[in-house]
Each structure stands twice: as C-alpha cells, then as structure tokens.
Structure 1
C-alpha cells in the first residue's frame, strides 16, 4: 500500500521494530526451568493432562525436566503433539492446562507449563535431534491437502506408521497459521519453518507447495492416485461487513494483512494508519490491533458487538492488548463507513447494549481492519456446483475419527467444526492418521 496521508511506513526506528516483533516471552534458561519444574506436584490423576487436547503427559514431561532429562521430556511431548514447539508459543494455556493446574486453585499461579514445554522442545530442535524412526514401509500412499497443523500432524503420524505421504500446499511455504496467520511476535525468528523442517526430516513425506485443491489438483485425482486422502485446508474465505463503501482505500482484511506482515523481511516497509479501528473480538482482532500499535499506529481501537465475556479472545489476550495501548469498546457494531476522496475517513457505530440500542457514535480512522471471522470455501471439494463431501454448519462434516462422507477421505483442523486452535488441529490430524492406518491395513 502506498503512503497516503495518515497511512505511512517507517514510523519507528529500526531498534523499535526489532524490539516490537521479537519474542514476547523470554525463553527459560536451565536454572529457571529447573525451578519452575520443581513447582509441579506431579499429580497422579493430573487435571492438566485431561485439559490438554492432545493428551500430553504433562507431569511426566515436567518430571523429566526436573531430573535434567530434557531430551526425554521433549520426546514425551512430541509423541503426542509433534507441533509441541509452536503450541508452547500459541496455545491458550491459560484456559487449558494451566487453568486446570492444582496450583491455580491454591495460589492463583499455575506451573508455567507452556514455558516448560517450549524449553524442552526448543532444546531438541536446537540440537537437530530426530528422535523418531519410521516403521517398515506399508506400500500404501496417502495424500494430505494442506500443510498446516492438522495436515502436518497427520502426515507425520502416517509416515511414522510406515505409509508414504504427499502433502499438497497452496502457499509457497508450509506451516499454515503458524507461518502465515498468528502475530509475528508470537512465533518469530523463522521458528515455524524450523518446525516444518523437523517434521519432514522423519522421511516418507513429500511436500509440494503451490498446489491448491480445485486449481492444481482435484479431489477425484487424489482419490484415484492414492489409497486415502486427508483434507486440512483450513478456512479460505473471510466474512465481509456487508456495508456500503467497504471497498474504500484503508479498509483491510486483517488475515491478509497479518500474512503480509509475517512474510515481510522488513517490517518498517509496511504502511499503517495513524488512527486504526479493528472490528471483531477474536484472536485475529487482538493480533492485528497489537501489531498495528507495534508498527507505529498512535491510536488503535477494537470495537466488538457484545461484551468482554463473549469475545473469542481469552481474558489474557484482551489484557495483553490493553497493556499494549489498545482500547476495546464493547456493545457496538459498525453501520456506516465514511469516505473522503475515495479513502476511509471515519466509521459510524451503533450501540447494541440492552437499554441503549440505536445510539450512534463516530470514530475517525485512516485504516479499518475486518476481523469478524473466516468461512470454509466449499468450491475446491465440489464438482459441477455440487459438493462432493457432506457439509455441516458450513464446514466439512466428519465422524469422531475425522472420516468424511466419502469412505477414503478424512478431514480435520479449521475446515471441520470444533475449536479453532492449533492444538486441536494437531489432535485432529493425529486422530485421523490412526483411523487411516486402520483403514489401510484392513483394505
């Protein structure tokens, strides 16, 4: 985007950009990891384990850290969650394992499970250790569509079980949202690609980038050429505000902008408004709002149609945004975008609060980001206008093992109903891989 008026690049110094997009959490060193691990009670029927979607033996991996068996700790994590390194950075531990931690109820301060998980998995990746070995070849082949958390987890487990896997990814890089869609300060320093490299180093997985389902390959082709198919394409569409003037310069899709930001070698080259408004209440809204501030926006406001307890973003994420200088205004929805010479100048909002609906206010803004959710695009799994797979609530319908309405096709991750979390996508891929394995061995 060219610099026009109050939208500009190079708002900050090089040092400020470096600090703003560095790790938000400093990793634990050995001493601090040992101290934190010593806080764990190693509960026999650990509630933290029950709260982990991938079923990681959390007391088990922490006990190994406490005894300085870091490699063993990492293997314990990765056996259940091959993307444990990314999940340690992006997983909402505050509402999962750490919320369930016994110390949360006793002291209000859980064991820092996420930081310990990162300590162990980073130790392994930093040393280039590949702890897994493939089973004997089964002679079967599986196509995996989408190289995000669900697809990569499925591909890794299938390869581990001895099957040959080809992964088809539409983008130039694998990694899914970890590479393209989360805030740059959450997964910085090319970590997403390092993790992809670790997964592929197992062997038995061929990655083909620039291959989109429905454009370069079809579902019919994949079913013909492979013994089974797994679909983990995520959500390809973005909801619109359904307002006039939505095409004004300065109105942006938050997901697309975050991807540009994450792929930019030079963050200072990205233009950002001086006054920014974000519409939405999920993690994407928080991520774009905070990053707008860190790119140099002076005034950033998130506007959400309901209350804080209804926001998709956790309380921790909401607090993080506010401590980073972002205002959050609840109980309001956009009703009009106001332009000036073809560019966004202001947005008008209407109150949605009980007892005061209809009251209006206007926010002057140079840039407005839409972060009101993504939708599954069914066209790639359709033929002649007819869906090849049964859909449910706008996403691919699957059974408890991830099997679709076609007997040799499974799906998982954001393209199916369920929590839109990296850790849940990993579990979907792993669960489907075991179901595919049983299918192939009985075929």
Structure 2
C-alpha cells in the first residue's frame, strides 16, 4: 500500500494500548437512560423538517417517540423499514448537515436533538435482542443479479429478497459491505460492525453472496441479462483521480490506506509517515488524515485547493481533524512531490475559475495521500452522464432490465444513506416491473 519517499514510513510509532484508545468509538453509545433523556428534547414536529432532510425519509419523530416510550425495538423497525442499513448510517451519516442541521432545536438553540445517536441506540438494541425483524414474502420464482455488495447493492438485495425474489449478490472483494467495510474510518465503525450488519441483513434469506466477481472481470452485463430476470449495478467508483504532477508515483490513494487500515488485525504493524500530507477536502481526506495522526504521525496536513467554505467535508469533520492535531491548509494545490517534500502552489479564483497564483510553498512529506475523488472503472456499455451511469429517478439505465444506484449512478450525493435510498427505490421499481404491477 505505502510507497516510501524516505525511510520515515515505519510501523509501531505508538504502543498498542495507545493505538487502541485512539481508535475507540468516536461517540460512545447511549444507554437506555441517556436515550430517554435525549429523546425528551424532541418536539415531535408534525411537519418535521428532519424527515425531509433524510435521504431515506425515516419517520424521525415517530422513532424518537418510540424510544421515549420505552420501545426501542419498535423504533428500530420504523428506521429499518426505510433504511435497512440504519445501524451503519447512524454511525457514519453526516447528520450535522442533514437531519440535525434542520432540527427545530438546532435552529432555536444551536443544539439539535441527537438524532444519529438515538438511531444507533434503537438499531443496536434490536440487533442485540431479537432476530431479523422482516420476513420474506412467498417466492416469486424471479431471479435478480445485484453486482456490488456496498450500501446500494445490499439495500437493493434485501428489499428484493423481502418481496420473494431470489437474489445473487456479486462482490469483487473478499467481504461484502463496500465502503462500509473498506472505506470508513475505524473509529466510526468499531467492533467489526460492518461485517456484523451484513450478516444480520442476510438473515432475511433468499440472497446468495458470491465474492471475487466484478463486472468486466468474471461477469458480463449481457451474460447477466441472459441469466437473470433483472440486474442491479451498485459497482461504486473503483478508480482514483490522478494528480497529474511530477512525482505522483510517490503518492498513495487514501482509499487504499483506509482499506488496509480497516482490514488490519494489528495496527501497530501498519506503517505511517512522520510527516503526512493529504491532498483533498472531502470525508476521505479527513479520514485518512485523522487516522494517520492516530497511528502516530507527528505532522499531518490536509491541503485543499479551494477555501474553507468550499471544503466538501462538513464543519464537524473539519473540527474533528483540527481537534486531533491535523493542520488544514486552504487555497493550495500540489505541483510536485520529491526529496522528502511536497511543493504546493497557492490558488485564487480568477474570472470564476480556480487558478494557481505562481507563489509556492514546500512542506516536509515522507508520505502523501491523494483523496481527490474517484472514477467509474466499468460501465457495461451503458450511457454515461458526467462520468457516472445515467439513471432515471428509479434507477433505470439505458439498457432494458438493468438498474443502477449508489456512487456509480448519476445524481445524488456520494453518501451511504443516499446509496441505501437508491438501492431500495430501484428494488421497488424492479419488483413492479417483474410482477407487472
């Protein structure tokens, strides 16, 4: 994974017990009393703005009232009916820019109801106390291929299985879960939760998982269309954008670093630089930077080409990075990497376009990560729109019988919760087409 620029990239910078503390749960889960107290703050708005802000349209006032009345399992069922990956979304969803941002309490007092933590309390309680809350309908005899076992694919597969269809879920990596398994900061999803949630989801039955198979490598779209009654593509974005600068070969994709960290059995063995620079401004950049610091890097810098206000990572994520000791630089872009340093050029917006000013600075850097976006690596010959598979509101692609959703599909934000909504909605449309309703 790592490409050393200098001998400064080493493992074991911190002792095992310190690393363990560093990677503990970002937010401790609520106990029953804490959840009841937090739920008491909800006004249970009739026209709740939080529901509108939720991409999966969870009935937030209802599930919070169910927690308040001591029925967290019922609250979980309310959540999971709309968002089958509600447990993970409670951990990783940027609630501060979605449901909690528009909470009436936030608008009036600057302190919203802690919707995300309440959602986690409800879903964790249900998963710990009872079996899978949904049952399959009578078998329809229809078969569906779902390619990609990330949030979109899992949500689609579950909803189709629940309606009685037989689903084969294809995944290129050794484990299902997609970004939930390989691309989320470890302190956001502890105790192997991503894998446990997938296992719990599969308890619905009717879903067969085949790993080591991807579109274009072991699978063809034409073959899938022949063998199955419908196809859903949730293939994500497998490519990484290039920096196109001198010395780029010394930079590592941040997503690869995060994936290696997530799959590591011993973080003391994971090498990290003394001076780390992360190029980018999104959630992946923050995750890579913060985790580098937690592994023991002495200096970690996020270098983003635009202003703070334009940074894709939320204010909360920016604050988290700063609190962990990460330096945030704005209006700088990389121009060269080499000799244990990275050269950055200051930027400015001129005539509506971002451009370099000609003024440069240099930072020590024995490890550089690039987190400047990802690209579609396979499209099956479908129509592409702005670098993604073109789809309708219900996920239909340009090919009859083929749907797509999640990061690989046009429209929407590249968020777990959005992917879940798109997979769920595509499944509903697939079911309607297959059953002629």
Is the CA contact 2:289–2:302 (under 8 Å) kept in the aligned structure 1?
yes
Q: Distance in 2 between matches of 1:26 and 1:218?
A: 44
Q: Distance in 1 between matches of 2:144 and 2:96?
A: 36
1:413 paired residue among 398, 406, 414? 406
Q: Distance in 2 between matches of 1:206 and 1:311?
A: 40
Displacement, 1:394?
0.9
Is the CA contact 1:10–1:271 (under 8 Å) kept in the aligned structure 2?
yes
Where does residue 98 of structure 1 map in the other structure? 100
Shift in alpha-carbon separation, 1:322–1:83, aligned structure 2, 3 A: same
Where does residue 434 of structure 1 map in the other structure? 428
Where does residue 309 of structure 1 map in the other structure? 309
Is the CA contact 2:246–2:335 (under 8 Å) kept in the aligned structure 1?
no
Is the CA contact 1:144–1:155 (under 8 Å) kept in the aligned structure 2?
yes
Displacement, 1:213?
1.3
Displacement, 1:442?
1.5
Work out whether 1:424 is the aligned partner of 2:426. Answer: no
Where does residue 159 of structure 1 map in the other structure? 161
Q: Distance in 1 between matches of 2:395 and 2:94?
A: 23
Displacement, 1:177?
0.4
1:197 paired residue among 199, 212, 219? 199
Give me the TM-score of the superposition, normalised by structure 2: 0.96
Where does residue 207 of structure 1 map in the other structure? 209
Displacement, 1:2?
8.9
Q: Distance in 2 between matches of 1:41 and 1:103?
A: 8
Provide the secondary structure at the position in 1 that maps to 2:231: strand
CA deviations on 1:47-85 (whole Å, 9 max, x unpaired) are 111110001000000000000011100000000000000
Is the CA contact 2:3–2:367 (under 8 Å) kept in the aligned structure 1?
no
Where does residue 232 of structure 1 map in the other structure? 234
1:122 paired residue among 102, 121, 124? 124
Shift in alpha-carbon separation, 1:350–1:190, aligned structure 2, 3 A: same
Q: Distance in 2 between matches of 1:172 and 1:128?
A: 28
Where does residue 245 of structure 1 map in the other structure? 247
Where does residue 350 of structure 1 map in the other structure? 345
Is the CA contact 1:331–1:353 (under 8 Å) kept in the aligned structure 2?
yes
Superposed structure 1 runs of 4+ greater than 3 Å apart: 1-4
CA deviations on 1:325-359 (whole Å, 9 max, x unpaired) are 000010011111123xxxxx111111103599211
Where does residue 388 of structure 2 map in the other structure? 395
Gaps of 5+ in 2: 351-355
Where does residue 32 of structure 1 map in the other structure? 34
Is the CA contact 1:2–1:271 (under 8 Å) kept in the aligned structure 2?
no
Provide the secondary structure at the position in 1 that maps to 2:403: strand
Give me the TM-score of the superposition, normalised by structure 1: 0.95
Where does residue 366 of structure 1 map in the other structure? 366
Displacement, 1:429?
0.3
Aligned length: 429
Work out whether 1:13 is the aligned partner of 2:15. Answer: yes
Q: Distance in 2 between matches of 1:317 and 1:165?
A: 37
Where does residue 342 of structure 1 map in the other structure? none
Provide the secondary structure at the position in 2 that maps to 1:10: coil
Displacement, 1:217?
1.3
Q: Distance in 2 between matches of 1:37 and 1:411?
A: 37
Q: Distance in 1 between matches of 2:409 and 2:241?
A: 17
Is the CA contact 2:170–2:214 (under 8 Å) kept in the aligned structure 1?
yes
CA deviations on 1:212-256 (whole Å, 9 max, x unpaired) are 1111111111110100000001001001110122123xx211011
Q: Distance in 1 between matches of 2:117 and 2:68?
A: 14
Provide the secondary structure at the position in 2 that maps to 1:265: coil
Where does residue 296 of structure 2 map in the other structure? 296
- Aligned-pair Cα RMSD in Å: 1.3
Provide the secondary structure at the position in 1 that maps to 2:214: coil
Provide the secondary structure at the position in 1 that maps to 2:101: helix
Shift in alpha-carbon separation, 1:203–1:354, aligned structure 2, 3 A: closer
